[in-house]
Amino acid sequence: MATIEQLTQELTELKAACTRILTGGQSYGAEGRTLTRADLATLDRMIRQTEARLEMAKNSGQLSHATAIFGGSR
């Protein structure tokens, strides 16, 4: 299981990735090459999952009563 520090770092990086997309766009090109970043929906899901994992790590493996985690596909 990841440590609180590792999860905090992961969450910081995920939020930074969202900020880069929101401020710089989903994709860009230079010199005939194109870079496409992860989509916001995927990053949002990953942020919510990491926040839940971080909460569990801080609470000895327990979720608080106000947290719900939904997985699966529609």
Give the tens place of pLDDT for each residue, 27-55: 888 899 998 888 899 999 999 999 999 99
Give the three-class secondary structure for 52. helix
Query: What per-residue confidence (pLDDT) applies to 14?
Result: 97
Contact 69, 63 (CB under 8 A): yes
- The total number of residues written for the chain in this structure: 74
Whether the per-residue pLDDT at 63 is higher than 70: the answer is no
Going by the DSSP 8-state scheme, the letter that residue 58 receives in this structure is H
